[in-house]
Amino acid sequence: MPSLQSNFLGIQSPNPFWLASAPPTDKKINVLRAFEAGWGGVVWKTLGSQVKNVSSRYSALYNANKRLLGFNNIELISDRPLDINLREIEECIKLFPDRAMIVSLMADNNRESWYELIKKVEDTGAHGFELNFGCPHGMTERGMGAAVGQDPEIARMVVEWVMEKATIPVITKLTPNVHSVVPTGQAVVEAGTHGLSLINTIQSITGVDLDTFVPNPYVAGKSVYGGYCGPAVKPIALKMLTSIAQNPVTNKVPISGIGGVSTWKDAVEFMLLGASNVQVCTAAMNHGFRIVEDMIEGMTNWMEEKGFEKLEDFIGKSVSTITHWEDLDINFHHIARINQDKCIHCGLCYIACEDTSHQSINIVKGDPYNTYTIKEEECVGCNLCQIVCPVNDCITMVEHRVAPEYLNWIEFQRRGLPLNDH
């Protein structure tokens, strides 16, 4: 059987599935339930100066079938007394010594506050720190959270303070609320952070209540920008993860992937694009802690099918496939193909292509239903018909090379080839 044993900065855990710093990791009872369910580790909810949270705190975006697309929160760091958090962290470590216990930190912006907090947390026996440079609401007004992560030089300074005092591994969590995560990532790696995690939540408004005229979450007739997470942010997280994994400075340290991980397939995708492990929050809040059972089983079966014996066999395997647009092969084409045995004759492919794309689908009207076929000479292989088709594998994209040679845009221009002939 393949091994899911994870080694992140020397921190051992039985699998690469950690719970992210959030409400599910705010207290002992939650964390013990998570460990009993099988989670490999947790990042304890951010500790720092005492705060007071508001009510309500969450909102969400759904599809037409009430399935969760994205989740928004305006919750701050832990509002529980520090001494209680520290005592419970120590108790959890003693009860589950084989699980990773990382503690998220957000001290006041001075060296002494960081020193004091680091010492208190290290005394619990915690295995590592995660520096919260990502919280996009509430803490930014105090010069903390994303306010640090958005300024590479401030982030560098804080990490330097931490590295002066910390004796256990340090992970720096990056904010996505920037034009690029790379500058801050580079700064904190140069400052000495042992690892990176990303992404934190994205500033957002999920919608406006059409009766009260106030966006949710609703707090006495007002609202604020919240932090967006869940399945909807996964594509953004994967892009930012890859940009860190491809950078020659930031790819020197291991990365913990966060942002829309809901299934074992999501976790594999993150790890293929450079993450050494993954952190989960929204999916656990939506479905409960036992989802980790499916994650463990699914990843194990996939690794066995692919012949991978350990996680390191596939971590980062897809990073090199992300290139620049100018390097893509112009001679590589796809043509859509409709499986008439699977077609339910709904016409969605025809409508989409006819109205908004390349008019590449024939319609033969009949009784009791219409028949649709591809005009191969017109098809540009855009995938739109496949995307809108409600039937799995009814429409497939078949490779069709214009010419056998590889030809990218730069070479195309260098040769002065006519656009209309290619």
- Give pLDDT tens digits for 235-294: 999 999 999 999 999 999 999 999 999 999 999 999 999 999 999 999 999 999 999 999
Q: Are 378 and 268 part of one and the same domain?
A: no
DSSP 314: T
pLDDT of the residue at 134: 65
pLDDT of the residue at 149: 76
Q: Are 310 and 332 part of one and the same domain?
A: no
Q: Are 335 and 313 part of one and the same domain?
A: no
pLDDT of the residue at 417: 84
Is residue 222 included in any domain, yes or no? yes
Q: Are 42 and 71 part of one and the same domain?
A: yes
DSSP 191: T
Q: Which residues of the chain have pLDDT under 50?
A: 137-142, 421-422
Is residue 268 included in any domain, yes or no? yes
User: CA-based angle 109:259:143, to the nearest 5?
Assistant: 15
Is residue 37 included in any domain, yes or no? yes
- Contact residues for 407 (Cβ-Cβ < 8 A; gap 6+): 329, 330, 331
The CATH number for 282's domain is: 3.20.20.70
Distances (CA, A) of 373 to 45, 229, 337: 55, 40, 8
Q: Are 42 and 149 part of one and the same domain?
A: yes
Is residue 234 included in any domain, yes or no? yes
Is residue 45 included in any domain, yes or no? yes
Whole-number Å distance between alpha carbons of 16 and 295: 10
The domain total for the chain is: 2
pLDDT of the residue at 76: 87
Is residue 1 included in any domain, yes or no? no
Is residue 286 included in any domain, yes or no? yes
Whole-number Å distance between alpha carbons of 100 and 6: 10
Q: Are 305 and 339 part of one and the same domain?
A: no
Picking from 387, 286, 400, 289, the residue whose alpha carbon sits closest to that of residue 335 is: 400
Q: Are 378 and 394 part of one and the same domain?
A: yes
Q: Are 376 and 313 part of one and the same domain?
A: no
Render 269-311 in DSSP notation, one character per residue.
Answer: HHHHTT-SEEEE-HHHHHH-TTHHHHHHHHHHHHHHHHT--SG
Look at residues 319, 350, 381 and tell me which one is the last residue of a structural domain.
319
Q: Are 416 and 354 part of one and the same domain?
A: yes
The CATH number for 369's domain is: 3.30.70.20
pLDDT of the residue at 318: 98
- Per residue in 211-230, pLDDT (tens digit) is 999 999 999 999 999 999 99
Select which of 135, 281, 389, 394 is catalytic.
135
Query: Active-site residue 135, yes or no?
Result: yes
Q: Are 332 and 315 part of one and the same domain?
A: no
Q: What's the distance, Cα to Cα, between the start and end of the chain in Å?
A: 49
Look at residues 319, 344, 372 and tell me which one is the last residue of a structural domain.
319
Is residue 145 included in any domain, yes or no? yes
- Whole domain around residue 156: which residue ranges? 6-319
Look at residues 286, 319, 352 and tell me which one is the last residue of a structural domain.
319
Q: Are 288 and 334 part of one and the same domain?
A: no
Whole-number Å distance between alpha carbons of 222 and 310: 50
Q: Are 303 and 373 part of one and the same domain?
A: no
